[in-house]
A and B are shown apart, each in its own frame.
Chain A
């Protein structure tokens, strides 16, 4: 069964902490994405990557960075967590072209206190 796995389902972190959210896919997808989901706002794209070591800013990259050292792994980094980064974070992957949609991970609910 193909999968996108996010390392944590729930996380609680303190303001100012450096936070790592990990995402691993086993489908040999070129593209990987990080979204955050907030009520009434839907899913908003933070960063995406179309190849190893390549990254592109999405619509709301401020306060975040990413790392893609291997094709299967895409990490989202909160350099100094703030309370307004409390949210549900969803990782997704896809092939680069074609009709295919995304395969999503199960999400990480992050609370920053």
Chain B
């Protein structure tokens, strides 16, 4: 079974609007971490936001927020006020357990295009 599922291969959003990128995960470990990374066309992977399984509040980092619904096992990324520079691939990732060598599982990614 897939550990991380991203069901949106590609999305379009109008500049200055908000957009939600979907991510669902599968784990039986009570302790896990969820990450979102951005990959522009240049190829580097940029860390955006982190959510721990025991965190009580949804994570926020500037224009990025993570809509964490534990019972549904979803960790959707919300980007507010989209900018042209947000056009990129976005990957959701999960780390299981506190002592699992920090091994990550990645989703297949969502390509976001921001239209002017």
Residues of chain A touching chain B, judged by Cβ–Cβ distance below 8 Å, are 31, 33, 35, 40-45, 48, 50, 56, 58, 88, 90, 92, 94-97, 99-107, 109
- B102 is contacted by which of A94, A105, A107 (Cβ under 8 Å)? A94
Q: Would you call B45 and A56 a contact (CB within 8 A)? A: no
- For window 33-78 of B, CB contacts with A under 8 Å fall at 33, 35, 37, 42-45, 47, 50, 52
Please, which residues of chain B bring their CB within 8 A of the CB of A56?
Answer: 101
- For window 96-111 of B, CB contacts with A under 8 Å fall at 98-99, 101-109
Among residues of B, the one whose C-beta sits closest to the C-beta of A102 is B104
Residues of chain B touching chain A, judged by Cβ–Cβ distance below 8 Å, are 4, 6, 9, 33, 35, 37, 42-45, 47, 50, 52, 91, 93, 98-99, 101-109
- Assuming the contacts A42-B91, A42-B109, A97-B98, asked whether A102 and B103 have C-beta atoms less than 8 A apart, the reply is no
Q: How many A-B residue pairs have CB under 8 A?
A: 62
8 A-B pairs closest in CB distance: A104-B45, A43-B106, A42-B108, A107-B43, A42-B106, A94-B102, A50-B101, A101-B47
A64 vs B50: C-alpha distance in the bound complex, in angstroms? 31
**Which of A92, A95, A96, A101 gathers most chain B CB within 10 Å?**
A101
Q: Would you call A107 and B44 a contact (CB within 8 A)? A: yes
Please, which residues of chain B bring their CB within 8 A of the CB of A50?
Answer: 101
**Which of A41, A104, A105 gathers most chain B CB within 10 Å?**
A104
The smallest beta-carbon distance between A93 and chain B, in angstroms, is 9
- A102 is contacted by which of B9, B47, B99, B108 (Cβ under 8 Å)? B47
A96 vs B102: C-alpha distance in the bound complex, in angstroms? 6
Please, which residues of chain B bring their CB within 8 A of the CB of A106?
Answer: 42-44
Please, which residues of chain A bring their CB within 8 A of the CB of B45?
Answer: 90, 92, 102, 104
Among residues of A, the one whose C-beta sits closest to the C-beta of B111 is A39
The smallest beta-carbon distance between B37 and chain A, in angstroms, is 8
The smallest beta-carbon distance between A2 and chain B, in angstroms, is 12
- Assuming the contacts A42-B107, A43-B91, A106-B43, asked whether A48 and B9 have C-beta atoms less than 8 A apart, the reply is no
